[in-house]
Chains A and B, each alone.
Chain A
Amino acid sequence: MSGRVALHSRTPRPSTVALVVSLLLAGSAIAANGQVGEQQAPGAVGDVAGHVPDQAEQVAHVPVSPSSSPAARDWWSPGEGRIFPEWVEYPNESGRLGVLNAEGAFETKGHAFFEPVGENGRACVSCHQPADGMSLSLQSIRERWEATQGKDPIFAPIDGMNCPNLPAGDPASHSILLKRGLFRIFLPWPPKAADGSPIDPEFTIEVVRDPGGCNTDPEYGLNSPNPMISIYRRPRVAANLEYVVQQRFGVSPFVGKTGEPAARDPETGRPLNQNMMADARQATLRTQAVEAGVTHLQMLEKLTDAQLQQIEAFERQIYAAQVERTGAGSLVEEGGAKAFGPRNLLAGDKGVLGNNITRWVFPMGDVWKAPAQGSTPEQIAMRESIRRGQEIFHFRTFWIKDSMHLNTVGLGNPTKRTCATCHGMHMTGLDSANGWMDIGTTNLPWALETPRNPWTEEQELMPLFKVTCKANVPPHPYLGRVIYTQDPGRALISGKCNDVGTIVMQQFRGLAARAPYFSNGSAESIPELINFYDRRYNIQLRDSERRDLANFLSSL
């Protein structure tokens, strides 16, 4: 702790702290008096959701470190002020990613997505890099650490450290980010409703393991004056978002999987699909931006309406997808498969189900059934592999078992289905609606854990929580009353036992550009991602099927 003071460049004065908290509370009160303000649903509605003031209080106490973000090839530094072109391509291990800026080139100087509008020198673009499919790859994080000796603002203490109380500049302080690509998310416990009132959770929670040190920290932890739970998650893709925030299929006043009320847009009152964030705690691009401004950029004031408008407008027209697959050549040739490339995403139907033979999740048509003109034998072989991978995705059945919010929604447990059952949204593979689901990425016994034995010194990076469902609610249908989890997911927002470890699934786009995968970065590569599903559901994929599926996924 003594080293921390020396590292402070600025520490907000108490009056500033009071100001930001009161500003955010005022925002909450405004929502409470508005059309949807009486809603007691967990923190997803309102100009400022109920949990944000508590987050702001922690933010205001966290120091910021001196930072610098020198320009680099393929890296967008905050405030550097260059032209964002209409079309740009970036190489990756599997080929090339294309980014389509559909409204045309613009100067980023002064643009709220690209400017360091908070206290710690970060901008939205810091963690939503075009070369990384508008997410942030572990490779980029490590390269940035080397290039700046840990001074890039992505390593800010607020969430780029395992906990803000650690010494900056020491790789050990940033090990969760440097090893898994995860940023700290801190959420109040107990959860807060939209109006800021506490929700009575259906379970108790204990910290079993806390390698980051933040959950047990007296200033930032669960027993601090401002009780917070810290979990660690990957930045999500800030592209193709018209698909993510769609208002069509599956969007209704009640969540189709559980019957609970859907979050509603604070401006229009319309129900939302809640497919954007890992725990669905914010459901509009604007409310997400407000929270991210506070918790990631350390803004001491809310983003202005003009800034929010600018961010939303940019996010609604940016598309990213792979355009070239090593071995296969271009994925986006004239008259080619509709599944591929940002331009097809722009033109595609948003908010429609694709798990059917009339539309497909990732439509390839017949065009890939014959070799492209002038193809080499290697290209023909790779294109055939990609096509087989698409067929495996749509048609290879397996038994899906004990997955909360999938096996509970009318298909039975187990259900014999395919990848496209859950990843059914046309063009992105998102869930059709309100996609929080527990497939075991964070809940034991399926979550990746470092083996413990006398012959290894490797320590697990993820925290571990023991969740005990209270006696007055039914047990979790698959995990019982006691659940061990690295990240309770949606349950940290809803307080519901059945939501423990449920995570909103992500889109399948730009995968080759943004490893690692899953919300906790537990799959280092696409083959590891496939392995997870194979062991989780005993799919019994052959090596050839794994290769085909990997080639297909890395072409998206």
Chain B
Amino acid sequence: MKSISLAALALTLGYSQVAAAKDVAFISCPIVRDTSSVPCWLSEYEGQLYYMGIQTDVSADFNPPSLGHKVLVEGTVSPDQEVCGGKVLNPVKVSVMPELSPECNTMLTAEARYELPFEAPRPPGPSMGQLAFTPPPPPSLPEAPFPEKTFTIEYDFDGKVNFQSPRALQPILQYANHVAASRIEITGYRAAVRLSNGEVVQERADIAQVRADQIAELLQGAGLDQPEYVVQASAEPQVGGPEQRKVTVRILPG
């Protein structure tokens, strides 16, 4: 079997999207399929199997979901590409729904016809000595006079802070400390998603406030307790994609 790198595959897929991109959004059970290397993750909607991604490590953009829960899948279909027996979604955003769904328990065994067409950047055992993907370097900090700056933290559907959040929180903490922030304005947002079947699903009613409060609490807990905090929430759900599920943090230098 010919192997190509995951990056090359992504480039190929990105190009093909120009010709025939189609967005989908649906809620269904995730499915895990074993391979001779790392497992791949699929989901099925209206009889079509979609490929979401593979297991790598915490540095990846795609983090596999969880059996035992449904997922909200928001992605763009690459019609000519199949991996692990599923049409490729790229880009794709997968949110694990909080409620338990024990019926989501499908594990498919490895089959030669569904082997990965690329080399996994991280095998299922010890790494090659580095993360699968190199994170971007941290932004350089400005010289005085310092500008005010707004950061955005994105969320899974109905999600709160999780293992991905430190990547977003660290630059906020660093900048606020660097500019001796006098005031921090935190605004939480709530979103809604229009599914491919026309249904609109909304995040829980209090999620905007919960998110904003949690970010304030975390920044204070990390030692940022001197600035004045203004915490607010926009509870009216904004229909759109993953970018609507967010908290903005505006830092005003001291």
Seen from chain A, the residues whose Cβ lies within 8 Å of a Cβ on chain B are: 35-36, 38-41, 252-262, 264, 269, 271, 355-360, 394-395, 397, 399, 401-402, 407-418, 420, 474-475, 477-478, 480
Contacts and interface: CB of A to CB of B under 8 A. Distances in A.
Nearest to A359: B129
Interface string B142-177: 000000000000000010011111100110010000
B67 A254 contact: no
Interface in B219-239: 220-223, 225
A217 to B, nearest CB: 34
Interface of B: 32, 34, 38-39, 41, 55, 57-58, 60, 63-69, 96, 98-100, 107, 124-130, 158, 161-166, 169-170, 173, 217-218, 220-223, 225
15 contacts: A35-B223, A36-B223, A39-B225, A40-B217, A40-B221, A253-B169, A259-B163, A395-B126, A410-B63, A411-B63, A412-B63, A412-B64, A415-B55, A418-B126, A475-B98
A254 B170 contact: yes
A410 B125 contact: no
B161 A258 contact: yes
A407 B163 CA distance: 11
Given A38-B220, A40-B221, A41-B221, A411 B64 contact: yes
Contact of B67 (A356, A395, A414): A414
Contacts of A41: 221
A39 B221 contact: yes
A328 to B, nearest CB: 24
A260 B218 contact: yes
Contacts of A415: 39, 55, 64
A545 to B, nearest CB: 15
B57 A411 contact: yes
Nearest to A479: B100
Contact of A397 (B125, B164, B217): B125
A260 B218 CA distance: 6
Contacts of B99: 474-475
Contact of A412 (B66, B162, B218): B66
Nearest to A194: B221
A487 to B, nearest CB: 23
B41 A410 contact: no
B220 A252 contact: no
Contacts of A356: 126-130
Given A254-B170, A260-B218, A358-B128, A412 B55 contact: yes
A228 to B, nearest CB: 25
Nearest to A45: B221
A259 B223 contact: no
Given A261-B218, A412-B41, A475-B100, A407 B66 contact: yes
A417 B124 contact: yes
Given A259-B166, A411-B63, 11 more contacts: A38-B225, A253-B173, A254-B169, A254-B173, A259-B164, A408-B66, A411-B57, A411-B58, A413-B67, A420-B126, A477-B100
Contacts of A399: 107
A360 B55 CA distance: 21
B128 A411 contact: no
B33 to A, nearest CB: 11
A39 to B, nearest CB: 6
Task: Give the most central of A40, A41, A413: most B CB within 10 Å.
Answer: A413
Contacts of B220: 38-40
B32 A414 contact: yes
Contacts of A252: 166, 170
B96 to A, nearest CB: 8
A397 B169 CA distance: 33
Contacts of A410: 57-58, 60, 63-64, 163-164
A496 B162 CA distance: 13
A477 B126 contact: no
A411 B128 CA distance: 17
Given A39-B225, A257-B163, A414-B67, A357 B127 contact: yes
B68 A413 contact: yes
Contacts of B126: 355-357, 360, 394-395, 418, 420
Contacts of A253: 166, 169-170, 173, 222-223
A276 B64 CA distance: 30
Contacts of B165: 254, 259
B124 A416 contact: yes
A399 B66 CA distance: 13
Contacts of B218: 254, 259-261
Contacts of A474: 98-99, 158
B124 A358 contact: no
Nearest to B214: A259
Contacts of A261: 218, 221-223
Contacts of B128: 356-358
Contact of A259 (B67, B69, B96, B161): B161
Q: Which 3 A-B residue pairs are closest in the complex by CB-CB distance?
A: A412-B64, A261-B221, A259-B165
Contacts of A262: 222
A357 B123 CA distance: 11
Contacts of B32: 412, 414
A399 B110 CA distance: 13
B221 to A, nearest CB: 3
Contacts of B223: 35-36, 39, 253, 261, 264, 269
Task: Give the most central of A40, A258, A412, A478: most B CB within 10 Å.
Answer: A412
A409 B38 contact: no
Contacts of B222: 253-254, 261-262, 271
A477 B225 contact: no
Contacts of B65: 412-413
B98 A477 contact: yes
Contacts of B38: 416
